[in-house]
Amino acid sequence: MPGPVEYKLNILEQFQCVGEKCPQNCCRGPWSITLSPEMAARWQAETDKPELAESMEAVETTGNKEYITKKNRSTQQCILLSDEGLCNIQSRYGTEYMPEVCVRFPRFTRTSLHFELKSAWLSCPEIARLALLEQESGGLLCSADATSPIGTSNSMPLDTYSQAVHWLSKVTPAILALRKYRLGIRLYSIAWFCGRIYQCLQRAGGLDQDLVRQLKKYKNQVYETNLRIKQKKLRPDPCNAVNYWKAIASLIRQLKIRHALIELEKSDLWRTLNTEITNAAGYSTLYAKLTKHSEPANTWLQAHCRQILENYLQLVFVNAGFPWDPEGKNHAATFLFCIIPFSIVLLLCWMLYEQAAEITPAQLLTLIYTVEAKATHNNVIYDTLAADPGKYALHQYADVFIDLA
């Protein structure tokens, strides 16, 4: 049996940490830094570097006999950080004495049965700049086997979950490549397929044949979706849309996402999303106010920042293992884990456009790495979804994604 196909983010070789010049500080997160037993022994053995051996006082051993750096009680950050937020180990002794996870970040490797990915997190501003500003869409990833598109396979697996991986691995990149359609239209189709597949996985018997026929004719699905939108036969349900964007606003508060570019308290859109609704008419009124802000901002983004959004979405999906290695074998949950930060970025863009009447590529980039740092290195989104499994039935409210740029 052949081994997994290897894919790599193209810009990994170009990446170099910019250190003090970086607008973010990745070391300041509430991380638990693991130190390998070999590195711990090396710290203790360096008698000519007494400060290094003393650094072991900042390390504790867990029940699994792992070495974990302690956290500052007031900041909950690694205790080895200086007051400037820089690593004392790196500044004194260089990268060769740093824990492996610190040296590797923002790089990471994701491996499944048929796939190995070497990539990097978009919470790093330099990775975001190289991947989103410098790369043409479709050129983000390279493979040792150029004949093997991401996640595809010609053989049909037997179990339902593997069938889901098979089909979504084929149609997701193919739908995203249909760039003559707006991004929201393509996301609607992917979400609808994810929801229907989730529905099939909840019952025995495999994917139903009607769904398989639709998956085989995914181009027709996207074309018909676009046609129905043009004919105004398909529009986001105001109740679904308002509840979705209210949930996005709630996550912005929960994750404490703030940016100097946007004054939330002065935003009419922010106030609108924090308005209580008491009847059905209220949803229609609020959704009309929402689209008053979203539509001109989306038009601007499509004209000036479309390439960044295309690259962002492609890399977010792949980094999260969608669709070939979804979290907990749940494609719907992993799709939402990707789309929710994307939606947060868009909502912030709409408010920025409301206040400044433009969004520059550089501004969009800062919003992306700010949101990624807050939203993707924790379990807040997955925990929120697990508390309401009904959200996995994406096909029942896929219309809300039509508004996504």
Predicted pLDDT at 64: 66
Residue 22 falls inside a structural domain: no
Q: How far from chain centre, in Å, is Cα 248?
A: 14
Q: What is the pLDDT of residue 288?
A: 96
- Residue 63: what pLDDT? 66
Q: What is the pTM of this model?
A: 0.89
Does 179 fall in a domain?
no
Q: Output the pLDDT for position 4.
A: 67
Q: What is the pLDDT of residue 65?
A: 64
Residue 79 lies in a domain: yes
Last residue of a domain, one of 98, 117, 146: 98
Q: Which of 98, 125, 141 is the last residue of a domain?
A: 98
Answer yes or no: is 126 within a domain: no
Give the integer Cα–Cα distance in Å for 319 and 131. Answer: 13
pLDDT of residue 81: 84
pLDDT digit string, tens, across residues 136-191: 655 787 775 544 444 445 555 678 888 999 899 899 999 999 999 999 999 999 99
pLDDT in tens, 235-276: 999 999 999 999 999 999 999 998 888 999 899 999 999 999
Judge whether 365 lies within some domain.
Answer: yes
With respect to residue 270, please indicate whether it lies within any of the assigned structural domains: yes
| Residue 63 domain-assigned (yes or no) | yes
230's tokens: 């043009």
Does any domain span residue 150? no
Structural domains counted in the chain: 2
pLDDT < 50 stretches in the chain: 1, 146-152
**Helix axes of 280-304 and 331-356: crossing angle, nearest 10 degrees:** 80
Query: Of the residues 98, 128, 148, which one is the last residue of a structural domain?
Result: 98
Q: By residue range, what is the domain housing residue 47?
A: 34-98
Question: pLDDT at position 26, please?
Answer: 81
Q: Tell me, what amino acid is at 357?
A: A
